[in-house]
Amino acid sequence: MPVSPSSSARHARQALGARLGEIREDAGLTGRALAALCGWHPSKISKIEHAKTSPSPDDIRAWAEHCDVPEQTADLIASLRTAQGMWVEWRRMERAGLRRAQEERLPLYERTTRFRVYSSWLIPGLIQTRAYTTAVLRAIRERRGLVDDVEAAVASRMERQRVLHTGERRFAFLIEESVLRSGTGGSETMAEQLAHILAISSLANVSVGVVPMQPDRTRWPVESFWMFDMAEVNVELVSGFLTITQPGEIAMYAETFGELTEHALYGAAARELISSAADSLG
């Protein structure tokens, strides 16, 4: 399992390791004895129990078998999958194509009632136009050498945008001004995209804030992130996709979002910045 910078993923790995250690001790086995039964180097047991090494599903099956708890195998493997899912490299997340990656996010969107989205890279997906989404996903596909299912992936993302107009949901989008001025897809695509943001900002359940470029900010830009109620935070990093579920970490992102909103412009002032970015396209 790739090492995640998140304490959420670290805690999940540590919890699994501790549970495996308890199972070994309940079986009356030392680490050396279990390693011998499994045919492993003695140090492997300690590394797994202290979350230095991630076990494989086969490792867990052998562990459970030699500790006489085969009935716990399925549950232990499920815990392993949960820990692995908190930090996913892009190449693993997108190995089946971009469409699947888009579809897998839909259940989370459907059960969320309050969205808080901060973007320092791109226009957030929920308020992207079809042309902008196409340009973004084509660039990703080419850069990562993925199968070409961009058209299907775009359709999936457009379908996901229906959550904007259904249910009792609230959306707070916070966008760095630089995102408005350094777009993708060309001038025509960006002009359409900026006009779309202006239209979306008029919805009663949506707020759009723009953090202006200025030389004296006390809260600098951070990585783009999505908050889904207070249940989960998703962070897109260069190397992978991070899912945060630890309450303490979620609270840190909520605090950061609040601090960034203090630097943002809303209403007429935000619309003026968006219009200015559109005018600069010529």
In degrees rounded to 5, what are phi and psi of residue 260?
-70, -35
- What is the pTM (predicted TM-score) of this model? 0.76
For residue 51, what is the enclosing H or E element? none
Q: Which of 85, 101, 116 is the last residue of a domain?
A: 85
- Does 2 reside within a domain? no
Determine the Cα–Cα distance for residues 73 and 57; give it in Å rounded to an integer: 9
Question: Same structural domain for residues 238 and 129?
Answer: yes
CATH number, residue 270: 3.30.870
Question: Same structural domain for residues 23 and 140?
Answer: no
Q: Which of 85, 118, 149 is the last residue of a domain?
A: 85
Q: What is the separation, in whole angstroms, between the first and last Cα of the chain?
A: 48
Question: Same structural domain for residues 163 and 251?
Answer: yes
Per-residue pLDDT reduced to its tens digit, 115-156? 999 999 999 999 999 999 999 999 999 988 888 899 999 999
Contact 90, 193 (CB under 8 A): no
Per-residue pLDDT reduced to its tens digit, 213-234? 998 888 899 999 999 999 999 9
Q: How confident is the model at residue 184, as a pLDDT?
A: 87
Question: Same structural domain for residues 214 and 132?
Answer: yes
* Amino acid at the residue 126: L
- Residue 205: band (very low, low, confident or very high) from pLDDT cuts 50, 70, 90: very high
Q: Total domain count for the chain?
A: 2
**Domain span holding position 56:** 7-85
- Does 1 reside within a domain? no
Question: Same structural domain for residues 130 and 207?
Answer: yes
Question: Same structural domain for residues 20 and 58?
Answer: yes
Q: How confident is the model at residue 90, as a pLDDT?
A: 66
Per-residue pLDDT reduced to its tens digit, 245-279? 778 888 999 999 999 999 999 999 999 999 999 99
> Are β-strands 240-244 and 114-119 bridged in parallel, bridged antiparallel, or unpaired?
unpaired
